Amino acid sequence: MNSRRRDFDHKKRIVVKVGSSTISHGTGKLNYRRMEHLVRELADLQNQGKEMILVSSGATNAGMAPLNLDHRPKSIREKQALAAVGQGVLMHTYERLFREYGQVVGQVLLTRMDSQDRSKFMHSRNALLTMIDMGIIPIINENDVVAVDEYKIGDNDTLSAMVSGLVDANLLILLSDIDGLYTDNPRTHSDAKIISYVDNIDKHIYDIAGDAGSSMGTGGMYTKIQAAAIATAADVDMVIASGSEDDIVSRICAGEDVGTLFKAKETPLHSKKRWLVSGSKATGKLIVDKGCRDAIIDKGSSLLPVGITAVEGLFEEGDIVSVVYDGLTIAKGISNYGSVHINAIKGRQSADIAEVLGHNGIFDEVIHRDNLVVMY
C-alpha cells in the first residue's frame, strides 16, 4: 500500500461526489464559497475536454433554511418534504453557478428501482450517456422524495460508484470531510497515517475503516470502502480526498498524490456484469468456504454447491445474490436455484444435484461464471 505514481492524464470521464459536510456549514446551511470553488473547477475541467459528472448530497440541508429549521427532522415524511424543497434550492444554486462559467447542467434523480431491473438500468445509462455526448454536466442525487427503503440506494457514496459503472467512467473522486483512508481513526489516534494506495480491498481494509463520518453526512468511511469495491470491480479508479482543500479535483486529475487511491481491477466487463456490479441489489447471501473463495477469485470458476456452507435470505431462481467469505462480499451473481433448493444441495457435489432435486436439478452450477462478477 505504498504510494504509486498516478497517471490520470488519460482519464476523460470523471465522476465527482461531494458530501453534505463539504458544501454545508455547521449550521446546516449551504456553503456558497465551497460550492463556487467546486463548480469553477468542474467547469474548467469540462473546458479542457473532460466529461464531468457531479453526484451531490445536500438536498436535505438545503431545505432547512427556507423552512427556518435549525436541525434535521427525524421522521421519514418530514425528511422527504425537506428534500423536496431542498432539491429545488440545490439545483437552482448549481445551475446559476455553472451558467456563470458557461456550462449547461441537467438534474437526474435516481432510485434503486432505476437500476435494479436491467432494462431500466440500460435506459438510465443511455439517458446519461446522451447528456454527456451533448456536453451537459449531469448533477445526480438519489430521489429522496419518493424512495422507500426497498428502493433506496442508501447513501451517495454508493450512488456515485453505481453511476461510475453506469456511464463507463474512468475515475471517481469522493470528496469528504476526511482526506483519505488512515491506518486508524485520525480523530482519536494521533499516530494514524494516511494510506496513499490500495490495490486490494480485503477484510483488513474494512476493519481499519472504522466510523469516520461526520454528523452532517450519512456515509462514514465504511460506506466509502463499499463504494470503492463497486467502482474498482467496474474498472474505475477511485480517490477519497478532502473536499475542503483548494483545487483538490484539479490536483487529483493532474496526478498529485493526495488522498487515497483505490486502484481499478482493469478487467473490462460486458453489459450484464456491469449491471451486476453497478446496479443490482442482492436479495440473499451464499456463505462459502475458503476453497470455493479461492476458486472464484483466483481461477474465475463458477460457484458450485460443494463450496457453499450456508444460505441467508429467501430468494428465487434468477435472483441476484452475494457470495460471502469471512464476512466479506467477494462476488455477486445470478442464482440458478432458489434459496430452498440451495439449502438442500449445499456442500454436495454437482453430480448429486439431480438426485437431490429431481427434475429441478438441471444446472451443475449454483451460479455460472458468466453470471458471476468478482468484487474482491
> Is 57 annotated for ligand binding?
yes
Which residues have a Cβ under 8 Å from the Cβ of 91 and sit 6 or more positions away?
107, 139
Which residues have a Cβ under 8 Å from the Cβ of 164 and sit 6 or more positions away?
15, 172, 230, 231, 234, 236, 238, 278
DSSP code, position 290: H
Which residues have a Cβ under 8 Å from the Cβ of 77 and sit 6 or more positions away?
none
Helix or strand run (H / E) with residue 83:
helix 76-100
Judge whether 239 and 171 are in contact, CB under 8 Å.
yes
> Is 224 annotated for ligand binding?
yes
Angle of helix 271-278 versus helix 156-166 axis, rounded to 10: 170
- Sign of the four-CA dihedral 297, 301, 303, 306: negative
Q: How far apart are CA 231 and CA 225, in angstroms?
A: 10
> Is 143 annotated for ligand binding?
no
Phi, psi of 17 (to 5 degrees): -110, 130
User: Distance of CA 20 to CAs 55, 69, 176, 302, 330, Å?
Assistant: 11, 16, 8, 41, 30
> Is 184 annotated for ligand binding?
no
> Is 267 annotated for ligand binding?
no
Residue type, 161: A
> Is 144 annotated for ligand binding?
yes
Cell numbers 476453497 correspond to what residue? 291
Nearest Cα to 267, choosing from 291, 231, 321?
231
Judge whether 52 and 16 are in contact, CB under 8 Å.
yes
> Is 222 annotated for ligand binding?
yes
Q: How far apart are CA 24 and CA 33, in angstroms?
A: 10
> Is 219 annotated for ligand binding?
yes
Centre a 10 Å sphere on the Cβ of residue 75 and count the other Cβ atoms it contains. 8
> Is 278 annotated for ligand binding?
no
> Is 284 annotated for ligand binding?
no
> Is 177 annotated for ligand binding?
yes
Which residues have a Cβ under 8 Å from the Cβ of 22 and sit 6 or more positions away?
31, 34, 38, 175, 176, 177, 243, 244
Residue type, 306: V
At 196, list the grid cell.
496513499
Q: Which residues are annotated as a binding site for ATP?
A: 17, 176-177, 218-224
Q: Which residues are annotated as a binding site?
A: 17, 57, 144, 156, 176-177, 218-224
Q: Which residues are annotated as a binding site for substrate?
A: 57, 144, 156
